Structure formats: C-alpha cells, structure tokens
Amino acid sequence: MTFLCNDKVPTGEAADKFGESVPDFAVEVLSPSDRPMHVAQKIGEFLECGVPIVWLVDPAKKTVTEYRSLSNTRLYSGDDVIHAEPVLPGFSCPVSRFF
C-alpha cells in the first residue's frame, strides 16, 4: 500500500498518468510466502525512489519495522507508539492496535 499527499495527486489530463509521482509513505505487509530477499529489494526500491517512510508489517511477529533509510530503521511492537511524521501530521497509534 502506498500513500500520496493530496498536493501530489494528479488532476485533469495528468490523472491518466498513474504512477509518475513518488509516494509519501509505503506499507508492506509480510505474508507467509514472501521471500526475505524480495521484500528487502522492494523496501530498497521504495527508499531509492525517494519514499521517505516505509513500514514493514509482520503479522506473525506482530511487529512493524520503520525505514526512513536503509541505515535509519526502528522496530516497533506491542504498545510502542508509531508515528508517520511529517507525512501524516498528528497520526500515532500503538502497534498492538494493528493486530
């Protein structure tokens, strides 16, 4: 899943050109069939393209790994509160509510 701020959403004729804007936020949810190398590659591609925040949600472990870059990551679980600033101002949620 990706999120695009309203000011980046194309209008008019440009609306036919889906996918030309870099998302402001991306969420990847692991499934049992996902291969770790494929998921790592996908996260790297998001970050390389300029997506500022990528969350990797692991339902089996009930964790969320936040990537702001490949070297700036943080693991959240349980009652840890995750934020999406500055992309989603004011949004915060305990990770436990995701599951």
3 state DSSP class of 87 = coil
Report the C-alpha gap between 12 and 91 in whole angstroms: 30
If phi > 0 it is left, if psi is from -120 to 50 it is alpha, else beta; for residue 66 that is: beta
Number of H helices, E strands in the chain: 1, 7
Q: Is the pLDDT of residue 92 over 90?
A: yes
Residues 40/34, Cβ–Cβ less than 8 Å: no
- pLDDT for 7-41, tens place per residue? 655 565 555 555 567 889 999 999 999 999 999 99
pTM, full prediction: 0.84
Domain ranges of the chain: 2-7+22-98
- Assign a CATH topology to domain 2-7+22-98: tt1808, chain A (3.90.1570)
Question: What does the pLDDT read at residue 7?
Answer: 65
Question: What does the pLDDT read at residue 19?
Answer: 57
- pLDDT for 42-73, tens place per residue? 999 999 999 999 999 999 999 999 999 999 99
